């Protein structure tokens, strides 16, 4: 039990150590990845803080909805305001973009890049297996992202909103989505496994 707690703490210390404390110089390779236990604990703390400070949990797909609503409004305000799907976003006087979810998404992007930069893992690259070209990899990535985004809208939440926030509230729909999400991920990974080996 002591190792389970002390190892993630040691990894956090090593992650935030200054160049003079690390083995090698500042030009050394990337830092080791975080322990999934430490990352999970910190994510739980962030989720609790979101409930405590903002009164709601985490979620990203709602921010993308607001961006789309703003783009529709920019192109044709009457058309955008007439769409039943986006109507709720235009209630009130403020901008459709002035919402917690959008600021949270910007924070995720900025925080993710900052973390990658500190860990010396922020280079631009395309991860792919030896049997697939860049075009095929990007096609799979786009198709997968589209299906995930579409599914998130049908489920009324993404992995953050449903799996993290909903499961923390023990919502039956969120727990069901959690199981189906991983079942779908394993089936898809098995179907495309030859692209990575």
Residue 99 lies in a domain: yes
C-alpha angle 50/150/95, rounded to 5°?
55
Show the domain range for 44: 33-124
pLDDT in tens, 104-142: 889 989 998 998 888 888 888 888 888 888 898 899 899
Q: What is the pLDDT of residue 41?
A: 92
pLDDT in tens, 16-29: 555 445 555 456 78
Examine the fold and report which residue of 75, 101, 124 is the final residue of a domain before the chain moves on.
Answer: 124
C-alpha angle 149/45/150, rounded to 5°?
5
Domain match, 41 and 92 both: yes
Domain match, 174 and 106 both: no
Domain match, 120 and 37 both: yes
Residue 110 lies in a domain: yes
Helix (H) or strand (E) holding 128: none
Domain match, 130 and 99 both: no
pLDDT in tens, 140-169: 899 988 988 888 888 888 888 888 888 888
Query: Among residues 126, 64, 131, 73, which one has the least CA distance to residue 99?
Result: 64
pTM (two decimals)? 0.68
Domain match, 40 and 101 both: yes
pLDDT in tens, 1-21: 555 556 666 666 666 555 445
**Mean pLDDT of the residues in the chain:** 82
């Amino acid at each position: 039990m002591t190792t389970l707690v002390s190892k993630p703490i040691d990894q956090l210390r090593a992650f935030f150590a200054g160049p003079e404390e690390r083995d090698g110089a500042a030009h050394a390779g990337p830092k080791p990845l975080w322990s999934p236990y430490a990352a999970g604990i910190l994510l739980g703390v962030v989720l609790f803080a979101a409930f405590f400070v903002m009164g709601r949990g985490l979620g990203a797909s709602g921010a993308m909805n607001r961006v789309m609503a703003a783009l529709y409004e920019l192109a044709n305000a009457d058309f955008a305001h007439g769409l039943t799907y986006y109507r709720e976003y235009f209630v009130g006087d403020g901008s459709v973009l002035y919402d917690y979810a959008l600021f949270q998404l910007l924070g995720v992007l900025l925080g993710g890049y900052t973390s990658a930069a500190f860990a010396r893992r922020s280079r631009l690259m395309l991860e792919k297996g030896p049997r697939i070209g860049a075009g095929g990899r990007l096609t799979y990535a786009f198709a997968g992202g589209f299906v995930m985004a579409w599914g998130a809208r049908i489920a009324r939440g993404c992995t953050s909103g449903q799996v993290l926030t909903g499961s923390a509230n023990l919502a039956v729909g969120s727990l069901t989505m959690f199981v189906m999400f991983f079942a779908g991920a394993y089936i898809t990974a098995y179907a495309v496994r030859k692209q990575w080996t």
